[in-house]
């Protein structure tokens, strides 16, 4: 779907039998839909609530069909829909145990106004912040009070799709990627991205430094994303990577962050 209103514009790509990549101008999310249920991975900004519902509708499910939400990390652009689903439908929300404080917002490891002002001279920063401010709906720190650690069964996350969790700390302390091994799809959140308004780069790379809690650790952690069977990589920002995940990890590691 096209359009210039960021609250409306989205595109759904079916990247495997059961996984759907929902791409918007500023952030992405992923829907697993199978006979075992529906899992949402990340959930957009608070102001993208209607867009989230529309994307679920496009896939053929309703918001209350979502069995669980997995959040890669507790940043406002990934948490908005999780707050809504938890409050409205009591949907369980899960994150890595070390990320729970970021999702509850008892800990904030997110770029703030000072970081943005310090970097406002860089191309793309002012247009980016101007575009995303309305999507925050006045709440730069949305929180999911009920978030629980990832439920584990047999080395997998015990939600529909049964992904394998891969802890890739650095962007935030408990940032986690999810490997849907039977689907051949790796959901990497902000471990690396393929495009962002504040970055001059395209293709796999790390977000600009102000977005990372610990950039050096984020870069070192990329090795943990190697050796999955994935042939599709879905980042939190930018287009999908179609090809072996290890090749995307190589490019992201070599490229690093633009600034
Ligand atoms: Zn982030
Ligand atoms: Zn993000």
Model confidence pLDDT, tens digit, residues 122-169? 999 999 999 999 999 999 999 999 999 999 999 999 999 999 999 999
Q: Which residues 6+ apart lie within 8 Å of 190 measured at CB? A: 72, 73, 75, 78, 171, 175, 207, 211, 235, 236, 237
Distance 110 CA to ligand 2 centre (A): 10
Is the confidence at residue 7, as pLDDT, over 90?
no
N-term to C-term CA, the chain: 32
CATH number at residue 65: 3.60.15.10
Distance 125 CA to ligand 2 centre (A): 14
pLDDT averaged over every residue in the chain: 96
Distance 142 CA to ligand 2 centre (A): 14
Is the confidence at residue 3, as pLDDT, over 60?
no
Mean pLDDT lowest among 137-141, 164-168, 201-205, 250-254: 137-141
Nearest to 180 by CA among 251, 245, 249, 86: 245
Distance 18 CA to ligand 2 centre (A): 23
Q: Which domain holds residue 157?
A: 3-255
Q: Which residues 6+ apart lie within 8 Å of 38 measured at CB? A: 31, 32, 56, 61, 65, 66, 67, 160
Distance 149 CA to ligand 1 centre (A): 19
Confidence of residue 8 (pLDDT cuts 50, 70, 90): low
As for how many domains the chain has, the answer is 1
The mean pLDDT of 209-238, rounded to a whole number, is: 98
Confidence of residue 5 (pLDDT cuts 50, 70, 90): low
Distance 74 CA to ligand 1 centre (A): 7
Structure tokens at 2: 């096209």
Ligand of minimum distance to the alpha carbon of 102: 1
Structure tokens at 134: 């309305």
Ligand of minimum distance to the alpha carbon of 111: 1
Distance 148 CA to ligand 2 centre (A): 20
Mean pLDDT lowest among 1-5, 14-18, 181-185: 1-5
Give the per-residue pLDDT at 13.
97
């Amino acid at each position: 779907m096209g359009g210039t209103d960021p609250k409306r514009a989205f595109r759904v790509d079916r990247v495997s039998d059961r996984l759907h990549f929902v791409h918007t101008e500023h952030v992405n999310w992923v829907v697993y839909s199978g006979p075992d249920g529906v899992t949402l991975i990340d959930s957009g900004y608070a102001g993208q609530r209607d867009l989230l519902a529309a994307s679920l509708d496009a896939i053929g499910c309703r918001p209350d069909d979502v069995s669980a939400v997995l959040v890669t990390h507790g940043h406002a652009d990934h948490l908005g829909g999780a707050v809504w689903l938890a409050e409205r439908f009591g949907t369980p929300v899960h994150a890595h145990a070390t990320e729970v404080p970021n999702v509850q917002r008892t800990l904030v490891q997110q770029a703030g106004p000072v970081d943005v002002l310090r970097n406002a001279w860089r191309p793309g920063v002012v247009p980016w912040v101007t575009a995303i401010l309305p999507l925050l709906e006045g709440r730069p720190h949305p929180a999911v009070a009920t978030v629980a650690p990832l439920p584990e069964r047999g080395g997998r996350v015990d939600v529909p799709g049964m992904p394998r969790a891969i802890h890739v700390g650095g962007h935030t302390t408990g940032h986690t990627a999810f490997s849907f091994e039977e689907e051949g799809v790796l959901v990497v959140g902000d471990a690396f991205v393929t495009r962002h308004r504040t970055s001059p780069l395209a293709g796999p790379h790390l977000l600009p430094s102000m977005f990372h809690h610990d950039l050096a650790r984020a870069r070192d952690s990329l090795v943990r994303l190697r050796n999955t069977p994935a042939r599709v990589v879905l980042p939190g920002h930018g287009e999908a990577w179609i090809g072996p995940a290890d090749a995307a990890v190589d490019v992201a590691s070599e490229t690093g962050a633009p600034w």
